[in-house]
Structure formats: C-alpha cells, structure tokens
Amino acid sequence: MVLRDQAFSSATVGRVGEAGNIKRSSAKRWVDGIGGAKVLLLAPGFNKTTPRNRVVKKIYLIRHGQTYFNVRGIVQGSGVDAPLNDVGQQQARQFHAAYHGVPFDRVHISTLMRTQQSIQPFLDAGLPHEKHRALDEISWGHREGTRITPEEDIEYHGLLRAWQRGETHLALRGGESPEEVAARQRPFIDEVLRGRPEEENVLVCMHGRAMRVLLCQLLNYPLSRMDHFEHRNLCLYKVHYTGSMFSIRNYMDTGHLG
C-alpha cells in the first residue's frame, strides 16, 4: 500500500507491504500524488535532511486491545472506561512478545484503563510510563455508552461525511470535534514527540479516532483526510522523527497478532 498524498509539506512517505513493513527500494523517486502533488518515496533509513550524527526518534504508536464494548458495538469514546476482554488481553501479550526487545525509554498512555492494560506487560517489567489526557479518545457526547442503532448510524455517518468535506469543527451533541482533539494533542506533540531528545524509542498507546487525528498532525495532513489512517485493535504505526519531519515506517501493522 502506498500513502500517495503526503505532500502537504516536506513530510515523507514509504511503501508498505501486506504486514505493514516498508519494502526496500534501491533509490528514491517521485510519484504523482492526489491533485497532481509530487510525493517522495524513500528507501528505509534514507533521509537526506537527517545529519549523520542525528539520532532518529522511533515512535511506536498503537491502538488499545479489544474490549467487550468493541465486540458489542457500544460507543466508548472518552466517557466509558471499559477494560480489555480476554481477546484484548491476549493481544497485549502478543504485542509484548513481539516488541519486548525494543529498548523503550518510556511509555505514554491515555487516562483510560484500556490503554494501560494494553501495555501492562511492559510496566510489569519496570518500564516508566506517563498518562496524558491529550491521548484520550474523542468524546462522542450523547452517544457514549449506547449501542449503535440504525438512527444513530445515520447520524454518525453523516458526521463522518461532513468531516471528510472539511467541516472538522462539527461534533455530536455534548462531544468533541476533531479540531478540539487536535488542539489538546499539540502540547503533547511539541513536548514529548518533538522534544525530549533523550527518549529515542517511545511507545504510545491511545485510541482509534484520536490516533487518526494525531497522525494527521504529525504528517501534515488536513483533518479531513484522517480516515486514510485505518486502525484495528492493537495495530501498530511505527513513525520516525528526524528532528525536522515525521515519516511512517509501519502502517497499521498487525503482524505481531499472528
């Protein structure tokens, strides 16, 4: 899969395979993106803006594991603090088994228990962590805690279409808009992801819609294109930060889940 339209600034993209891993390429090349924009495809490890002595920060961005509410189609958002179910707990163990060898400096999670439970094996091993309200899921307002009905499904998809048209200031009654979520994420991006050079490998666990908003901000996408960033329970986006730009190395990677 190719992320074709990441030419809104100097952000870079790479080719990703079925399991989400970047495929090797012998050279850099430009391809046509959406609207005629040119997009640079880079081989792994190549970044002409990165000095030789610059350490690339590696960000392992994951969505939480499965909850019972996920299975039942009940809206969680930031107002329902549901635990992982048995499948979600297994997903957490599988992710830890695949990535426990990464020398993470710190884990960053939301304030909701499903993110902490998703990375609990790392905490049990003594890895330090921080909780951030900035990483909480979008608030779905009056829909939270309710099963999706046909009427609500119409409302929900109508809102998604409005967001795709660029009306990202809109929200469900009592809920948050993508623009409000983006605003609360920016201090985290500046302080933790762009800052803290001592944290070279960081693990971030958060939520589906909020993750889409975050990726838009890191990669300079307009929020109207956030649905380009698909997600599943305990999927991984691996992002590199060179000090001047972010780039995706793994796209919705679930290879660790078997």
149 has binding-site annotation: no
3-state secondary structure of 182: helix
93 has binding-site annotation: no
Q: Give me the catalytic one of 64, 132, 231, 256.
A: 64
Examine the residue annotation and report whether 137 is marked as an active-site residue of this protein.
yes
Examine the residue annotation and report whether 152 is marked as an active-site residue of this protein.
no
Looking only at the bridges linking them, the beta strands covering 129-131 and 201-206 are unpaired
- How far is C-alpha 141 from the chain's CA centre? 22
* CB distance 112 to 136 below 8 Å: yes
70 has binding-site annotation: yes
65 has binding-site annotation: yes
114 has binding-site annotation: yes
Q: Give me the catalytic one of 132, 137, 207, 240.
A: 137
* Amino acid (one-letter) located at 210: A
254 has binding-site annotation: no
List CB contacts of 202: < 8 A, sequence separation 6 or more: 57, 58, 59, 60, 104, 105, 106, 107, 108, 192, 193
Count CB neighbours of 11 within 10 A: 19
249 has binding-site annotation: no
63 has binding-site annotation: yes
141 has binding-site annotation: no
* CB distance 72 to 147 below 8 Å: yes
Tell me the catalytic residues.
Answer: 64, 137
Residue stretches of the annotated binding site for substrate: 63-70, 114
Q: Which residues are annotated as a binding site?
A: 63-70, 114
